[in-house]
Structure 1
Amino acid sequence: MNSAEVHTDDLGESAREEGSLTSLSFIGLVLTQFLGAFNDNLFRWLSVPIAEQVVGQSNAIAIGTVCLTVPFLIFSPMAGWLADRFSKRSVIIAFKVAEIGIMLMAVLSILYGNVTALFSVVFLLGSQSALFGPAKFGSIPEILPTRLLSKGNGIMQLTSILAIGLGTVAGFALYDWARPTLGAGNIQDLSAVSFILIGLAVAGTVSSLVIRTAAAGNSNARLQINPITAMVPPLRAVFSDPRLLKTALGISFFMFLGSLSQQNINPYGELILGLSKSDVGILLGILIAGVGCGSVLAGYWSEGKVELGIVPIGAVGIVVSSFFLVAAGWMYTPDYPPKEQFAYWGSCLGLFLLGSSAGLYDVPLEAYLQFRSDRKNRGMVLAGNYLISYVCIVLSAGVFLLLREVLDVSPLNIFLLGGLITIPVAWYVVFVVPDLTFRFFMWLLTHTVYKLRIFGRENIPEKGPGLIVPNHVSFVDGILMMISSSRMIRFVIYADFTEKPFLRRLGQVMRVIPIDASRGPKELVRSIRIAKDAIKDGELVCIFAEGQLTRTGQMQPFQRGMFKIIQGSDAPIIPVNLHGLWGSIFSWRGGKLFWKWPKKWRYPVDIHFGKPLYDVKDPAVVRQQVEELGAEANLMDMKRQPIPAKRFIRHCKANKGRTKVSDSTKQTLEGGKLLAGSLAFRRVLRREVFSPEDKTVGVLLPPSVGGCLANMALALDKRISVNLNYTLSEDVLNYCVDRAGIRHVLTSRKFLEKKPYTLKNAEFVFLEDLKEKVSAVDKAAGAFGAYVMPTSALEASLGLNSVDPNETLTIVFTSGSTGEPKGVVLSHSNVGANIEAVDHLLNLNDNDALLGVLPFFHSFGYTACMWLPLCYNVRGVYHFNPLDAKIVGRLCQENRATILMATPTFLQMYLRRCDKEQLESLDLIVVGAEKLPEQLAREFEAKFGVLPTEGYGTTELSPVAAVNIPDHRSTDIVQRGTKLGTVGRPLPGVTAKVVDPDTGEDRGIGAEGLLLIKGPNVMQGYLDEPERTAEVLKDGWYCTGDFASIDSEGFVSITGRQSRFSKIGGEMVPHIRIEQELTRICHDCNDEEGEILLAVTAVPDDRKGEKLVVLHRPLHITPEEAIKQLSSTGLPKIWLPSRESFVEVESIPVLGTGKLDLRGIKELALERFCQAELQA
């Protein structure tokens, strides 16, 4: 057996770290950042008007800028050393404490009006910011996981911007309020000023105390005393990695351009737009607000990953918005007030767009710098980045002075120049790195069409190689995979897709790896070699291991070629499940690509990345992991899907004039009338029968139009229906009624005449009586709801929007074949997920008609024969008795039925008693409940021209878990959907595995074991039996009690049932296997009865523990001959029954559902075998 070992070592530190955007640690960091930046800018702009009185406005701003910026040049190396050498939290706290002292000096400098002291304080504030900046921003990746880095940086950027803007406004406001007289030695309300400055510093210190402690990144880091030489290590840290260098230069350009724009706003507003000082402040606030919005938008668009594809959008936006701003300024005329002109409002818009574009440009670069840098020298890298950035800020001040004072360049033309110098940057990111640009444009396009959710992205290795293996559902799978990762992915794709000129160029840009086995072994080897080289180079490679798009909706077998790509490397395989794409216009649903209407705009799609797999040798193991991810995806998607009652309403409204249900009594209802009748019936029941205590209601009706109406009325009224088994004894039926807490049972007098029952603790409600009580108002209300009322309004009026999909929809009692019936609780989502999956696989269309002969008390009848036609494009045709072969055949012929859901017992009967013409319209037959004998399937195909296929399920699985899909139900490109002898593959969104019955360990592919099922179809539990529920439900897996094996293609073969094994001489002997062989041997082609021929059970035996018993109807060969032929099949000798084990009976006990009555068989065997022994 091959098994997949899951490692987490290479997931990266961030995947293992706890932290969220709402964690106390991150909130403390954000608050510390806000208070510090606010206080810095408050004092800076408070000191400018004070200093203006001595040195003039321009010099005051210039000197202030230098004092604030130079410390970043001098102390950035030391700041990086501090962030690496010590805990970043300790560094932050130390400098926040220092800020308190600096603010005390600030108060004293204001008090005495000392300009030199004022600028010294600005210098100290700059020094404090510079020294703890790397520790502050370097803490982000230590607090947040990788998926939140972009959002975290966006929040930090927004916080900084808000603090800068508010601090600037507050500084001027505080000056206007305090109005200091320079050199007078006092200030009005100095105590309030002192309280604000020092209080903010103290508050920032307190907030820093809640930041989480993390170990020092590099406790052995050495400090360079010389500021000049100390600049070398951080610059070397940046220059050593070309990607880090490009990123740092990109950030520095943002700093240069932002500083230039900020300095230019004042003269632009005053000289170009004729604005006052206060109005110029508004323009500055708009620019800052734009940067904040762009930063948040960048974090939102990044969706939990570092998305460099946003950078080209920001760069182009800077160019366009700069030109727009210039155009708005050109439109100004002094003849009208500024605020009445487009020039002003256009400038406001231009500045907002400029700021937004700058935020889009900068945030991904900041996040990538943190993501790309190694934890051990992350502080050095950030320090080097700051060093380069602040050189650019100082440079921008020099450029601004040169342009304004020396060259006398208009402020309008300075914005124009800013746009022009951004063009080369935009060109570089768009054309030199087009893969990033293309990826982000694909992001925008796919998010326009799809509503995308991504889970498990942390399972993608942050660094190093990895082979990504998803299922293949649609033509956009590759695009969705591409935009879901912050790392670039190289795709192995079919070579023909790269032949057209545009696609060839696109393939070169995205560095795809074309492959085509039909072009010969050399080309195949070459493609594999390219993929292997990519893995060796530490890249991510994606291959769709199915080799083709699914045409059936089920996953196809995975090919072994994937292992050649990672051969000789330690690269993991990352399984991925793409959920929700089947049925979209890019899938093969319905046999067509593209040429179908989208079901929804912004189609919901989920992508689930699984944990990395190592040491895998079997592709079926990888397929199993992808299938399990699909089950998890479906479970998570349950609440997003409409409940069956809503599906019923929407489908009936869309098919008002189309026949939906009919039965053998000639009753027929179109969709509109069916909905109207259900609504009217609901009104009558609420008025005449039910009280609020009637949560659970019994239904004792055969499959019919009336049975559908009763069940739909209950579903629309949010009541729990219990379709009672009318083949049970009166005592057992009353047991079910009492167990479910039923007070009323809906039935009809005609039905009770044929099946008389007496209820002990409940009362019958007859449909005939209710029909007389339907008033004209009821009919009108039903018709209004069905034909006039909007769907959303109808659903809201019925209270269906408040229904939790996990609430109970129905209780189905098991057949009781092995004991007393168990109440299986099925939710709305259980039934809804099951019928949706069946519809996906069967490709139901308007021409389909389903012959419903299974009773509604049978889970297969309830889900597949009732809810499926009522919610999807197939008519329901019902008959109350599946044993009436002639009537069933006539009904099929008259209604041109195409689909039949039945059991092997019923098929045997139809094979013998129906004419060929009666069933010739059938296109699909799915059987369950019992094993389908291959011989029966072949005989049925020979007579009626349609091969029955087998499915598998239990009441606890809603009920369908797996099914064979006939090839003609898919498309013109045949993919194997059926394998005789198996029960098919699991439904989409359902997964199966086999385990050791004793240890619970996975048995692997091809091995026999106990079958477990997981998916949205798994029941909520047994009614009021938590202990029994816990026995069969563990971690979402349902233990079926059946033994099975799963082959490499995913087909499930049932080999026996846990309850149908005997332990003889210490060995487990399967009854079903012996039954199959004996049925084949003893089969009589001339048998017209069509009943079950024999059944195998066991009775106690003193010598070997148990003894096999074969109950059989009259055979055409002797038991001795049967045993002789059985021994030649190769079965173990201990599996062979003895001559005395054969006991002839008149008929084999069968339940009303067509399944063997195992308890009845056991009792009959004990009775007959004991009699036989006494007679002997």
Structure 2
Amino acid sequence: MFYNNVMQMTNAPTTARRPLLGLLIAQFFGAFNDNAWKMVVILLGMRAVEQSLGPGAELDAAAQKQAMLALVTLTVPLMLFSLPAGALADRCSKRSVIIAMKVLELVLMGAATLVLLQPGASSVPGLLVLALMGLQSALFSPAKYGILPEILPHERLSSGNGLLEMLTMVAIIAGTALGPVLLKQAPEPWVVGAVLTSLSVLGLAASFAIPKVQPASAGGGMVDTLRGALKAIRGERILWLTVIGGAIYWALASLVGQNVIVYAKTVLRLDEQFVGAPLAVLGVGIGLGAVLAGRMSARKVEYGLIPLGAIGLGLTTLAFGLIRPGVALSHVFMAVTGLCGGLLVVPLKTLLQWYSPADKRGGVIALDNVLSFAGVLAGSITGYFLAAAEVSPSGIMISAAALMLAGTLWTFYLLPDALLRLVLVVATNTIYRIKRVGLENVPRQGGALIVCNHLSLLDGLFIMVSVDRPVRFIVDSGYFHNRWLKPFMKVLGAIPISTSEGPKVLMRALKDAGDYLDRGELVCIFAEGQISRIGMLLPFKRGLERILKGRSTPVIPCCLDRIWGSIFSQAAGRGTAHVPRRLPYAVTLLFGKPLPAGTPSGEIRRVVSELIEAAWDERKASSRPLAESLIRIARRHPFKLAMADPMREGVSWIKALTGGIALARALRPSWASQQRVGILLPTSVGGALTNYAASLSGRVTVNLNYTVGRSGLESAISQAGIETIVTSKQFVAKARLELPGNVQVLHLEEIAAGITTLKRLFCLAVAFLAPIWLLRRLCGCRRTERPDDESAIIFSSGSTAEPKGVVLTHYNVLSNVEAAGQVLHFAPRDRVLGILPYFHSFGNLLLWAATHHGCAMIWVPNPLDGPVVGYMVEKYAATIAACTPTFLQIYMKRTSPSQLGSLRLLITGAEKLPPRLAEAFEEHFGIKPLEGYGITECAPVISVNTQDFRAAGFYQKGSRKGSVGPPLPGIKVKTVDPDTLADLPPGEPGMLLVKGPNVMTGYLNRPDLTAKAFHEGWYVTGDIARIDEDGFIYITGRLSRFSKIGGEMVPHGKVEDALCEAAGMDERVFAVTGVPDEKKGEKLAVLHTLDPARIPAIIDEMTRKGLPNLFIPKANLFIKVESLPMLGSGKLDLRALKKIAEEALTSRSQPEPVEEPDAQPTEA
């Protein structure tokens, strides 16, 4: 491991729009001229040699000598004048140095033209010009590379270097390839010089577009520059390793490049004008590799590319020497070799620029140039002596490969973490695709504590590969001492920690972490203490506060998203591996703004949860329409059970998709011009397929509430602008529905009859073979759906007011589907009981959750039919069920425990789950109902309890008594004062507000109601709740279900619970509402289904328990009813409840008794 304090820049990055453009053009023409002239000089020398020697070893050696002379002539000035060039670059503005060198280049190209004007031009004067060009390049190089950090921000440094290297290679290619062509094709040799002079003029003009920068250092000569550069390199391990690595690379590049020219001339027997072609292809590969390195670095300096490039160089060069390829294959090998070279050279250059102190950068680059050019010289001379020793060009390639592989092994010995980064670089560019957000929040120097959530075994590696500084991780000692992991842990410098080995071990780990922070290093802690097995953010341990105590080190909150479901996450259960649904698997990593060291752990957790919510917003851009979930799952599991209902045996996924396509094509003429379509069907296979058909065709589904009567249907149809309804004759007759007369009514029976066998076969072929875009076009989809487009309109139940149309987008539903699946662990092996109607928001969610996760759906049209529900659960071994507490009461009476024996998860919602009912149900069936919370406007799930996770060394609590669970991943909640809307601290009851990707866009055609429903981007639920320190939500009651009596707020739900407890009832038999009262503003009225004679005893029991008088309804305000008013979704009908109570009390002819406790209950 290594670490350094990253330099402070003396020049802030420029704000110019294209700061690199002028430099790139100037460098391009300079590199072109250098290499074109070098090739001209080499070929002039080879012409002379070929006139006196024939083919053979002697000619090979002579040709190597000419190539070596040219390279040595160019390289020696580069070595001799690099140090003065470094001093010049540090003392003067690098822009001014660049312009001056371009002027010198113009003069030299003019001199080259004069040389070629001489009759019978030889190589000797050309070598002199080439030497002067080496001098010009030596003075140009430190300014060229040193100016990059001064005109580019840090996150663009790798990509900038990649672009510079790529264009340099293109110029080298062009110069190497076109130099011989110009010499052979030009009518006179001097024309070559004239062309190069013209290009110099263009380069000089471009250099004036480089942004102005200030000198980096005020004084010092060449000796001071050398001394400062040596001191900087000796003081920073990564710098001297980079310099040595660069020298080795250029030595081998020189050896290979020189050898390729000879190989092309003497082995491949290429014509003189094509002899530079293999070297040009090598340059193309280097350019492409440089650009690829910039992209793979992903806004950071990725030194893991160095071993990747080195290994590739060694292997390809070795293969070249062993195979002795022909013309075509030689070019292929050169391209791959160059690609690996580009991967190697870009991180070397970037590390040199980044780790060099700003005021010594020119000197460091100059010293690096000296050693690099020494390497070039050594490689060239080595090639000559190997040829003189009669080593063939293929043998020289093998020698170069051996040296490169030896250097790579040496690198792994010195930097073992480079090998690990190599593996990570390969993995994160193949198996994973990481999106990094907020990298600028990670300090480039100094200590910082990164605090991150924890969802998989690879979380630390994702952070490591995303940050270009070394990071020390605090890891569980069990992983640290694992015999397979321990070598990697030591390489990473991990800090072992354990809570089971005693306080000394724990305190030592925390102290070590603090010491590393004091040294200016990055330390990462997963503050949950263990990998989350329940898919939720766990409580944070307070150890991080001890690490930060007494320090000023900033805290960097961090969030890993989309990890759940990837390889090595816990989505598959207790195993450590999970097959991902797609490759490469997308991962998002977010870094938040730094927090002060004194921030409490609870506040850090809150910020991390906010980052998780932001991460879910990042998902939106890559999300797909809901219908595509059906297509993908049907093709992944074509013959797996998809759905069944009491009237129809199991339907496979491919049959479900085929049926959806067939229905969509059959319905296309009827709804061709309509965007919204009405669906009036029960929870059944036919209802699901109709929803699929509408979604496949790009329509917005409006599942109509068939329990509200004709007027309610007409209201919804009018609000949504529906022109067509799809229903079933059998269903309409059985439910005795009165259909509206102002719409087109289509019956499934008639539509299905028109779908012939040939059409079904066509739809089956489309389901299997057609691209998704074509499939949807064949279904009648006329547009490309975006995440924010409408997916469904669901009308609220109207339990407290007139039903409103809630507009939900594709991403509203999809984000809720994915979040619920992460927490409830939906998997293709699950079978979900569907009893809630499609017009209910949770019924709609279950349809798409099962589709997205590949779960089978077991539909039961009538949730009140307990025997059928029990039969279907038992027959199809349903594992997940969701219903209301009212339905639980029915199933306790009408199903047997064995029928529900396959259930692993039972979720309740829509109304409060009475504790006595939950306990009785668990006692009877052996499964604990888990309460969730949601509203239609939130698509609908906001929070849910889940099952606890227990294993050796683990206990993660997924539920808490009395709560509705923590919010789903990606959802933020808070409580505010109902009157002032000021934020409240944890634990204090207030109005619950929600924010997240699942929150609706608004109410249909009601901007006034939409505006009232939101406060500063938060949806106002209207529910009173409190939130504990760990994020669990406790619903106190709905604001509309409170009565203000004598200035005190009395929750109806608590009164109902107290009544049930006093009566010894597990099921709901009481419903409380508020009615006007002249004295105290409001009073409590109670509807009940018990024998009225029991009421006085119940009141006495409540009084005996010490309940406040305000919580005890008066006996004469109890109203006997046959059944409590319920909505079709299973929720209490609050409007009807209040109306019944008011009418019953108003109809009394006698005045209210004075002695209230002795009054008798009233029956309605």
Residues 298-332 of structure 1 show CA distances to partners (whole Å, capped at 9, x for unaligned) of 33443333222222233344444444444355xxx
Give me the whole-angstrom Cα distance separating, in 1, the residues matched to 2:418 and 2:409: 13
Judge conservation of contact 1:264–1:411 (CA < 8 Å) in 2: yes
Deviation sequence 1:975-1017 (CA, Å, 0-9, x none): 2112121111223444434456677775454444443434443
Q: Tell me, yes or no, if the aligned pair for 1:1060 and 1:1070 is still in contact at 8 Å.
A: no
Secondary structure in 2 matching 1:517: coil
Cα shift readout 1:478-505 (whole Å, capped 9, x = no counterpart): 3333333322222222223344544333
Cα distance, 1:356–1:878 mapped onto 2, change above 3 Å: closer
Alignment of 1:844-859 (within 5 A): 844=826, 849-859=831-841
Q: Distance in 2 between matches of 1:808 and 1:59?
A: 74
Are residues 701 and 1174 of structure 1, via their aligned partners in 2, closer, same or farther at CA, if it must alter by over 3 Å?
farther
Q: Distance in 2 between matches of 1:664 and 1:53?
A: 92
Alignment of 1:709-788 (within 5 A): 709-753=689-733, 754-759=735-740, 761-782=742-763, 784-785=765-766
Cα distance in 2 for partners of 1:671, 1:139 equals 60
Q: Which moved more, 1:534-543 or 1:362-371?
A: 534-543
Kindly state the Cα deviation for residue 371 of structure 1 after the two structures are TM-superposed. Answer: 1.9
Query: Deviation digits for residues 409-467 of structure 1, max 9, x if unmatched?
Result: 76566545544544552232022211111221243245443344333333332222222
Q: 1:1152 corresponds to which residue?
A: 1128
2:679 aligned with 1:702, yes or no? no
**How many Å apart are 1:528 and its aligned residue?**
2.5
Amino acid at match of 1:747: T
- 1:525-540 map, 5 Å: 525-540=507-522
- Residue 470, structure 1, aligned to residue 446, structure 2: no
CA distance in 2, matches of 1:747, 1:490: 62
Scaled by the length of structure 2, what TM-score is found? 0.86
1:1013 matched to 2:994 = yes
2:941 equivalent among 932, 944, 960: 960
Change (3 A) 1:730 1:349: closer
| Structure 1 equivalent of residue 416 of structure 2 | 434
The answer as to 2:1077 corresponding to 1:1080 is: no
Equivalent residue in structure 2 for 1:367, among 324, 334, 350 = 350
| Aligned residues of 2:960 and 2:1032 also touching (Cα < 8 A) | yes
Q: State which of 773, 786, 793 in structure 2 corresponds to 1:811.
A: 793
Alignment match, 1:977: 958
User: Are 1:161 and 2:169 counterparts?
Assistant: yes
Residue identity in the other structure for 2:1071: L
Match of 2:811 among 804, 829, 836: 829
Kept after mapping to 2: 8 A contact 1:44/1:64: yes
Report the count of equivalent residues: 1129
8 Å CA contact retained: 1:84, 1:216: no
Q: Offset at 1:609? A: 3.1
What does residue range 260-339 of structure 1 map to in structure 2 within 5 Å? 260-271=255-266, 275-328=270-323
Q: Map of 1:194-213 to 2, 5 A cutoff?
A: 194=194, 196-213=195-212
Aligned residue number for residue 1161 of structure 2: none
1:738 Cα offset (Å): 1.8
Identity within the alignment, %: 36
Instruction: Identify unmatched segments of 5+ residues in structure 1.
Output: 1-8, 182-186, 330-341
Give the deviation of 1:112 after TM superposition.
Answer: 6.9
SS class of match (1:882):
coil
Contact persistence 2:64–2:262 (CA under 8 A):
no
Relative distance call for 1:891 and 1:42 in structure 2 (3 A) is closer
2:485 partner SS: helix
Aligned residue for 1:222? Answer: 219
- Structure-2 residue corresponding to 1:636: 618
Deviations 1:886-931 (A, max 9, x none): 6555655666554332222333444466666665654432111222
- The amino acid of 1:552's aligned partner reads I
Distance 1:1008 1:623 in 2: 20
**1:1159/1:104 CA distance change after superposition, 3 Å:** farther
- Cα separation, partners in 2 of 1:433 and 1:898, compared to 1, 3 Å: closer
Shift of 1:1121: 8.1
SS at 2:569 equivalent: coil
How far 1:859 moved relative to its partner?
0.5
**1:137 alignment partner, one of 145, 163, 182:** 145
The alpha-carbon deviation at position 250 of structure 1 amounts to 1.7
SS at match of 2:19: helix
User: Which residue of structure 2 aligns with residue 25 of structure 1?
Assistant: 19
Q: Describe the shift of the 1:275–1:780 C-alpha distance in structure 2 as closer, same or farther (beyond 3 A).
A: closer
Q: 1:380 and 1:197 mapped to 2: Cα distance? A: 30
- Tell me, in whole angstroms, the C-alpha distance in 2 between the residues paired with 1:410 and 1:889: 84
Residue aligned with 2:807, SS: strand
| TM-aligned CA distance change 1:390 to 1:995, over 3 Å | farther
Which residue matches 2:55?
none
Deviations along 1:1002-1050, one digit per CA (max 9) or x if unpaired, are 5454444443434443334333445654655678754434343333333
Matched, 1:176 2:175: no
| Cα shift at 1:743 | 0.2
Which whole-Å deviations, capped at 9, do the CAs of 1:957-986 have from their partners, x for residues lacking one?
Answer: 221122111338999965211212111122
> Is 1:544 aligned with 2:526?
yes
Deviates more, 1:937-946 or 1:737-746: 937-946
CA contact (8 A) 1:952 1:961 kept: yes
Tell me the CA shift for residue 361 of structure 1.
2.7
Compute the displacement of 1:744 (Å).
0.7
Which letter maps to 2:692? M
How far apart in 1 are the matches of 2:18 and 2:482? 54
- Look up the match of 2:604: 622
What's 2:561 paired with?
579
Equivalent position to 1:523, from 505, 510, 514:
505
Measure how far apart 1:12 and its partner are.
8.8
Distance 1:1006 1:130, change over 3 A: farther
Q: Report the equivalent of 1:900.
A: 881
8 Å CA contact 2:476–2:497 kept in 1: the answer is yes
Distance 2:1005 2:151 in 1: 45
Residues 142 and 1123 (structure 1), Cα distance of their counterparts in 2 relative to 1, 3 Å cut? farther
Summarize the Cα distance change of 1:887–1:242 in structure 2 as closer, same or farther, 3 Å threshold.
closer
Q: Which deviates more from structure 2 when the two are superposed, residues 929-938 or residues 997-1006?
A: 997-1006
1:385 pairs with one of 368, 371, 376: 368
Greater mean alpha carbon deviation, residues 54-63 or residues 763-772: 54-63
Q: 1:236-251 counterparts in 2 under 5 A? A: 236-251=231-246
- Structure 2 alignment gaps of length 5 or more: 50-61, 1153-1164
* Alignment check: 8 A CA contact 2:161 2:346 kept: yes
Tell which deviates more after alignment, 995-1004 or 198-207: 995-1004
The alignment status of 1:146 with 2:154, answered yes or no, reads yes
- The answer (yes or no) to whether the contact 2:180–2:272 under 8 Å persists in 1 is no
Q: 1:209 & 1:1124 partners in 2: Cα distance?
A: 93
Q: Secondary structure at the residue paired with 2:345?
A: helix
- Which stretch of the first structure deviates more once superposed, 442-451 or 106-115? 106-115
For 2:1148 and 2:360, how far apart are their aligned partners in 1? 87
Cα offset, 1:773, TM superposition? 3.4
Alignment check: 8 A CA contact 2:317 2:397 kept: yes
Do the aligned partners of 1:465 and 1:539 also contact (CA within 8 Å) in 2?
yes
Contact 1:50 1:180 survives alignment (8 Å): no
> Partners in 1 of 2:876 and 2:396 — Cα distance?
80
- Aligned position for 1:863: 845
1:369 Cα offset (Å): 1.2
Residue 1160 of structure 1, CA deviation:
4.6
- Aligned counterpart, 1:492: 474
Are the equivalent residues in 1 in contact too, given 2:1062–2:1102 (CA < 8 A)?
Answer: no
Alignment partners' CA distance in 1, 2:100 and 2:1037: 71
Range with greater deviation from structure 2 (1043-1052 or 64-73): 64-73
User: Match for residue 53 of structure 2?
Assistant: none
C-alpha contact 2:181 2:273 (8 A) present in aligned 1: no
